[in-house]
């Protein structure tokens, strides 16, 4: 397989994975392009490579910067902005895990806590509902706490242990 084919296949696959992670395909494709680019890229470079509009590129670059997984850079003497991806894969995984917790797990915890607070209803269905939503809340809360510990202590014994288990 030639480099251009391999690069395109990687970008397309990363884009498809992104939709499963809850981000747009284009956002994931831009990230993939920046991951495999040996040099920083301008917005124009990204637009040309992925055949996307300026608005689409701008919006998704801003989102990736908000996630903390790409960075804006400047070259002396040039007005253009350039972009690069987080180089450290462990740090990238940490940032994505934290962002997903903030965007997905924590809002779900708030909803579970809110809906399990039924008032004045002691029917069998209400008791069952309250019990199950409370159990889900406890499970997600423990999982989120564990995720926070793992991402906050990148050199802790627990992170090292989990990383060893994953290998």
Spatial separation of the C-alpha atoms in residues 135 and 129, rounded to whole Å:
10
> Do both 26 and 74 map to the same domain?
yes
Spatial separation of the C-alpha atoms in residues 75 and 70, rounded to whole Å:
16
Spatial separation of the C-alpha atoms in residues 149 and 156, rounded to whole Å:
9
Q: What angle do CA 163, 166, 167 make, to 5 degrees?
A: 90
Q: What is the pLDDT of residues 2-40, one digit of tens each?
A: 988 999 999 999 998 888 877 899 999 999 999 999 999
Spatial separation of the C-alpha atoms in residues 44 and 157, rounded to whole Å:
44
Structure-model confidence comparison of residues 162 and 127, the more confident one: 127
Domain, as residue range, for 115:
89-166
* This prediction's pTM: 0.74
Number of separate domains in the chain:
2
| Of 69, 85, 101, the domain-final residue | 85
Share of the chain above pLDDT 70, in %: 91
> Do both 119 and 68 map to the same domain?
no
């Amino acid at each position: 397989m030639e480099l251009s084919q391999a690069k395109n296949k990687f970008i397309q696959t990363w884009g498809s994975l992104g939709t499963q992670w809850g981000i747009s395909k284009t956002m994931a494709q831009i990230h993939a392009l920046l991951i495999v680019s040996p040099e920083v890229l301008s917005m124009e470079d990204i637009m040309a490579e992925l055949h996307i509009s300026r608005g689409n590129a701008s919006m998704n670059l801003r989102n990736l910067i908000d996630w903390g997984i790409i960075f804006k850079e400047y070259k002396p003497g040039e007005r253009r902005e350039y972009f690069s991806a987080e180089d450290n894969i462990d740090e990238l995984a940490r940032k994505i895990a934290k962002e997903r917790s903030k965007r997905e797990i924590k809002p779900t915890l708030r909803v579970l806590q809110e809906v399990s607070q039924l008032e004045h209803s002691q029917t069998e269905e209400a008791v069952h509902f309250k019990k199950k939503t409370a159990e889900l809340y406890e499970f997600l809360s423990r999982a989120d706490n564990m995720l926070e510990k793992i991402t906050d202590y990148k050199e802790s014994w627990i992170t090292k242990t989990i990383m060893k288990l994953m290998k």
